[in-house]
A and B are shown apart, each in its own frame.
Chain A
Amino acid sequence: MGASVLRPDGALKVSGEFAYSSDLWLDGMLWGATLRSPHPSAWIRSIDIGPALAMPGVYAVLTHEDVPGEKFYGLENKDQPVLAIDQVRYQGEPVALVAADHPETARRAADAIVVTYGEREAVTDPRVALERRMLVRHQPVRVGSTFSADVVVTGEYEVGMQDQAFLGPESGLAVPAEDGGVDLYIATQWLHVDQGQVAPCLGLPPEKVRLTLAGVGGAFGAREDLSMQIHASMLALRTGKPVKMVYGREESFFGHVHRHPAWMRYEHGATLDGRLVYVKAEILLDGGAYTSSSPAVVGNAASLGVGPYEVDNVHIDAYGTFTNNPPCGAMRGFGAVQACYAYESQMDRLAAACGLTPVEIRIRNAVSQGSRLATGQVVDTPAPLAEMLRDLDAMPLPESVSRDLRDLPGGVGQTTHGDGVRRGVGYGVGIKNICFSEGFDDYSTARVRVELLGGEPHVLVHTAAAEVGQGLVIIQAQIARTELGIDHVTVAPADTQVGSSGSSSASRQSYVTGGAVKTACEAVRERIEKDGRPLEVILQDGPIEETREYRHRRTFPMDPVTGQGDSHTQLALCVHRAVVDVDVELGLVKVVELAAVQDVGKILNPLALEGQIHGGTAQGLGLALMEEIQVRDGKVLNPSFTDYLIPTILDMPPMQLKILENPDPNAPYGLRGAGEPPTLSSTPAIAAAVRNATGLPLSRVPIRPQDIALA
């Protein structure tokens, strides 16, 4: 524990042998394809599958009439049709399915299905949706009654719709089983919640829908909702053949939820010396056509809407709207990311108004252990924000403007030789809830078995927890080795043959599944110790196996009127400093360096941890400077990697990290979830640095060249 042990899937991944969900192959398998709605809002007048069915090589064409069981599914609210029934509510909504013997045949057959639509008004402005009270959730936070102060700053902020843009598009293989059920090999974040949604729609009991995790090409929230799981299963059950579905990149943009775009209005009041008196905020998050995880997103935005700062008077209204825009749901840091951009922008305005540095204003208001959040929840574990900010401030700054023009804004575009370049420095602070909140029964299950193999004790760890790239597979092995003192540890493939591990989201798996593995190992160890004989001798009687569930501390719902309640079990902090060079004439930004300090409680694997912080930071850079799904009148304008830009290796600067270990006594080993917090704080830090360089207000991310050059 605490060492950079190399991940066991690494060698397979570098040699091309790791089997991702899109790599699976069976003799005689068919390919599935999906026909999607071109309209954001329309009645379906008729669907004619005849022309598609008549095509050679086509085995099945299915519509909503062919859904064997329940017609609707959903994570929190079953409001999403498996296939559109009489209407479509967003562009890209699945309408019909095809199975054929070649992917191209399947695509052509899908195109041959004739759907007659009657277009109708689409509600695509969330402000209109708010007026009409088309709300998935409204969560107020009310505390205190003093809403005047000596220093008042206000601001309106916008965050564009970000995409998770994982590299491995949605895919999987459904295999019909002899018992009438289906075996599904799938890339997902949570096998059991998939099973719980797939089985009812197939009209099957859960035990007949067996899911096994195939290789996952990144997730970041985008695999929390279902994509092709029910569809491939329907086609497999109908045709009696294995069916593989693989989305292309464009379809992937329509096949998963996105990060909620946000419109936020903030008012901060403070004393003359920069101590917060009150925060008022209205946070509008567009959830698009279906519920997905919008309620939780709204909850996070509300409960964490003032950031990690002490303030006695808070008046927040966070809204999630229903519109005919693409559905939005989980993406790394959800709800907290959007609010963080706004409250951190406000803290900089406040610093300027009070004549303080950005670091000083944050230190003056920083939470610490014992602080009370806006929800009334007391921070009861270490929260050394002031220390983190001092550490960050003490990290050396990169040297002044580089001489190598390729290091300047525009980079290899060599737009400048130093002309018009101004340096800026900015800070960002973020706070994220770790694990599921608001009273959710959040747990994980682990089965640990010790047996003799070749005369030596081996440990087999079996959970349903999804390795999505984050390195959970090595963390589980490290925990088992540490707890049992046995070198040979294998982590079994994740599947539904063991109890649920919950989702690989909310930075929770090291905590919860780590806790489950630890607890199961302790149970095994207890049996060994109780027995008293040497392990090798005990194991000659047969394997020792224990299964344990692990739950974190209970959380509570937020009061629907006041927002009060101990809604989170753990909170994590990350702070970023961004140094940028901005070519103010041409509007180009070069991020020169990003520095971060994060408190992770306990480092389990430094290499994996650093990778999480780097990667989360990069996604925050993308949101700050380039990433946005452009939606106009409900239609996505840029569903490709040509037009939706994510950072390349030339966009990412070197990073400095400092990692603190102030343990959380409630968590296994004292650890804190680490994956999300860096995604919060890097965006406002970069935006602040660009503002610092340019003097522009820049109230919207992503910031584009024209926002700087032609402001």
Chain B
Amino acid sequence: MREFEYVRAGEVGQAVAMVTADPETSYLAGGTTQLDLMKDGVLAPDRLVDITRLPLGGVTRDGDVLRVGALASMEELAADPTVAERLPFLREALLMGASPQLRNMATIGGNLLQRTRCRYFRDPAVSACNKRRRGTGCAAVQEVARMHAILGASEHCIALHPSDMAVALVALDAVVHLLGAGGSRSVPIREFYLLPGDTPDVENVLRHGELITAVEVPLLPPGARSTYLKVRDRASYEFALTSAAVALRIDGGVIGEARVAMGGVGTVPWRATTTEQMLEGSPPSPEVFAAAAELAITDPYVVPGTAFKVELAKRTVARALRTAATQGGPR
């Protein structure tokens, strides 16, 4: 780890000013990604501004919207009664996303900015990584890949977005609130993440120094059925091979509203809009779910190690739809 300066921010504006003023300064919150990557030598900021004591926590409900402070912990959000009642699949995604200890540390803002687990990105000894240094190539495409993306991917980058929570938030059309030196703005979460294209080093719309202050999450309608399903190599505490966040509103034997997003497959949390369109207006039958799931993966970019994800992801979506329809009622 390189030498760096550690500063504790006293208030929000000061923190934003400090980071904005210096391209080599970064925020430090829960630390579970930031410090890990600094230990590996992937990140090497000159200065860290610790924001953990800023008043950006809390989870509050305002009508049908839940406002989640960026510094609320994953555990805090998972334990919130509104989440249990009206966003059960978000709760599931949070609980499946990390061990209890890490849920206590990791913040919601930090989770949204979680970096990929691509081993080539995490190993500075590997020179070819467009995400670390634009224009150097992509070792994952050339060498062994498995825990990698098949959607939004290209020869430039197949790094997977690792968050579970963000998959549910993408399904929910959450809104991310940002504060920069020039003021605040709000970005729908689907516009927050950027596809890698030929600039995989740019992962989202954050300008340097901009801080996530909160996330607004629309609640599911009462009676909606939802589930978060995660396929992984061991029973706990492991990143997804494939996952699906599904919420359905079923009115009189017809799917009135469908929200479907996938994890483990995209360079960003992936919304399955074509699947949703097919579902809406259809009866909730296994056949419909299977057909809709078939549409979830279009134009995948696969390498030998990731080819299995195409079929596995479809099955994951189909299973999640069946599960949500039959079991995913309010608990």
Contacts and interface: CB of A to CB of B under 8 A. Distances in A.
Is A in direct contact with B (CB under 8 Å) within the complex? yes
B185 interface: no
B312 A648 contact: no
A626 B229 CA distance: 20
Interface string B131-162: 00000000000011001000000000000000
Given A419-B319, A709-B315, A710-B311, A410 B144 contact: no
Interface stretch (A448-456, A564-572, A638-646): A638-646
A405 B117 CA distance: 29
A616 B330 CA distance: 42
A615 interface: no
B319 A645 contact: no
Contacts of A416: 319, 323
A630 interface: yes
Nearest to A632: B144
Interface stretch (B21-29, B232-240, B250-258): B232-240
Interface string A641-677: 0110101111100000000000000000000000000
Nearest to A641: B237
Contacts of B236: 411-412, 648-651
Given A414-B229, A651-B236, A586 B315 contact: yes
A702 to B, nearest CB: 9
A625 B234 contact: yes
A709 B311 contact: yes
Given A414-B92, A419-B322, A706-B308, A650 B235 contact: yes
Contact of A626 (B233, B308, B312, B319): B233
A588 B235 CA distance: 9
A614 interface: no
B312 A642 contact: no
Nearest to B239: A642
Contacts of A413: 96, 229-232, 235
A705 B233 contact: yes
Given A632-B143, A648-B235, A414 B125 contact: no
B268 interface: no
A645 B233 contact: yes
B231 A587 contact: yes
Interface size class of A (residues with CB under 8 A): 35 or more
Given A412-B95, A414-B227, A419-B322, A626 B234 contact: yes
A416 B324 CA distance: 11
A605 interface: no
Contact of B241 (A419, A647, A705): A705
Contact of B233 (A415, A632, A704): A704
Interface string B185-205: 000000000000000000000
A642 B315 contact: no
A420 to B, nearest CB: 8
B119 interface: yes
Contacts of B96: 412-413
B326 interface: yes
Interface residues of B, number: 34
B58 to A, nearest CB: 27
Contacts of B238: 645
> What is the predominant secondary structure among interface residues of chain A facing chain B?
loop
A516 B327 CA distance: 62
A648 B95 contact: no
B41 to A, nearest CB: 9
A69 interface: no
A710 B308 contact: yes
B267 interface: no
B240 to A, nearest CB: 9
B235 A709 contact: no
A585 interface: yes
A625 B125 CA distance: 30
Nearest to B244: A415
A55 to B, nearest CB: 12
Nearest to A409: B235
| Most chain B beta-carbon contacts within 10 A, residue among A38, A413, A588 | A413
Interface in A583-634: 585-588, 590, 625-626, 630, 632
A415 B235 contact: no
Contacts of A488: none
Contacts of A706: 241, 308, 312
B79 interface: no
Contacts of B311: 709-710
B316 interface: yes
A645 B119 contact: no
Nearest to A411: B235
Interface in B32-81: none
Interface string B79-96: 000000000000010011
A705 B311 CA distance: 12
Nearest to B144: A632
A417 interface: yes
Contacts of A632: 143-144
B234 A647 contact: yes
A647 B236 CA distance: 9
Nearest to A588: B231
B1 interface: yes
Contacts of B125: 38
B59 to A, nearest CB: 22
A38 B123 CA distance: 12
A38 B228 CA distance: 41
Contacts of B326: 417
A346 B275 CA distance: 45
Interface string A390-415: 00000000000000010000111111
B95 A415 contact: no
Contacts of A645: 233-234, 238
Contacts of B234: 625-626, 645, 647-648, 650-651
Interface string B213-230: 000000000000001111
A649 B100 CA distance: 13
Contacts of B232: 413, 705
A705 B231 contact: yes
A585 B229 contact: no
Contacts of A38: 125
Given A585-B315, A632-B144, A412 B235 contact: yes
Contact of B119 (A412, A415, A590, A643): A643
Contacts of A104: 1
Interface string A210-224: 000000000000000
Nearest to B232: A413
Given A411-B236, A651-B236, A710-B312, A637 B229 contact: no
A643 B36 CA distance: 14
Contacts of A705: 231-233, 241, 312
Nearest to B243: A413
Nearest to B147: A643
A588 B243 CA distance: 13
Nearest to B99: A648
A415 B328 CA distance: 12
A417 B241 contact: no
Contacts of A415: 229-231, 316, 319
Nearest to A642: B117
Contact of B230 (A410, A625, A642, A648): A410
Interface of B: 1, 92, 95-96, 117, 119, 125, 143-144, 147, 227-239, 241, 308, 311-312, 315-316, 319, 322-323, 326-327
12 contacts: A410-B229, A417-B327, A419-B322, A586-B231, A586-B319, A645-B233, A645-B234, A647-B234, A648-B236, A651-B234, A706-B241, A710-B312
Given A410-B230, A416-B323, A649-B236, 9 more contacts: A412-B235, A413-B232, A414-B323, A415-B231, A590-B235, A626-B233, A642-B117, A648-B234, A648-B237
Closest 9 CB pairs of A and B: A411-B235, A706-B308, A650-B235, A413-B230, A650-B236, A651-B235, A648-B236, A632-B144, A710-B308
Interface of A: 38, 104, 405, 410-417, 419-420, 585-588, 590, 625-626, 630, 632, 637-638, 642-643, 645, 647-651, 704-706, 709-710
